[in-house]
Amino acid sequence: MAVRFLAGGTTIAHASRVRSSHRLWGAAAGVAALAVSACGVVGDPPVVDPEADPAVQGPKSAFGLDRAQPQLLPFGARLRRVASVAGVPLDSPILDELEANRIALGDYDFARGVAPDSTWTASRIALWAKSLRPVCASAEMRARYGALPAELSDLMKTAYGRTPTPEEISEITSVASEAGTMTDDERYEVLCLAVLSSAEFVIQ
């Protein structure tokens, strides 16, 4: 089974329903390339209006539900997955940015009247990847996966709960190749972001 990316020029879940030429600003190559830009900062993700973009929309049911649009795992489940991959508790400082952006990332706050939202949008996936940067740059990740791509297979196995195929490892590695020349630290961050932002990791 091929690793499915959510954006950045690679295929997403339900690709047959999405224009193949539509390159959404998102989690894999797009965010990875920005992450290693000269300024070293991922800027605020652009807002994509799903009502104006049929490539994001997909067909809807009579009840207004989008049948084609991939649905994110609940925020709490995604956060626990990240913590498990990094080998840290949920109150670890490396997860602070994810926690700070939890509502924008789809979490709920019933006290404030905010319902959970698992809808996939390009801006949400971009913010997810941006919020992952402290994780990918952390000493905790380096302690578990000393070098990438050398230990990419171990990272993918932990993230996906299965042994990745050589083709899948090559697919993830190609994200860094497409981003151009970079340092070892930049390559590490790009590959980490690609794995933790892939569809298999964040989609229900």
Burial of 188 per CB tally in 10 Å (0-12, 13-18, 19+): buried
Is residue 102 scored above 80 in pLDDT?
yes
Q: How many Å apart are CA 73 and CA 84, to the nearest integer? A: 15
Q: Which of 1-5, 84-88, 128-132, 178-182 has the lowest mean pLDDT?
A: 1-5
Q: How many Å apart are CA 166 and CA 184, to the nearest integer? A: 22
Per-residue model confidence as pLDDT tens digits over 15-74 = 322 222 222 223 344 444 444 332 233 333 334 344 443 334 444 433 344 446 778 999
Is residue 159 scored above 90 in pLDDT?
yes
Q: What whole-number percentage of the chain has pLDDT above 90?
A: 48
The pLDDT, as a whole number, for residue 31 is: 45
CA distances, 191 to each of 16, 27, 137 (Å): 26, 11, 11
Contacts 24+ apart (CB under 8 A), 150-154: 152/191, 152/195
Q: How many Å apart are CA 35 and CA 110, to the nearest integer? A: 34
Q: How many Å apart are CA 117 and CA 199, to the nearest integer? A: 17
Q: What is the chain's mean pLDDT, rounded?
A: 74
The pLDDT, as a whole number, for residue 112 is: 85
pTM metric for this prediction: 0.71
Per-residue model confidence as pLDDT tens digits over 106-127 = 998 888 888 888 887 888 889 9
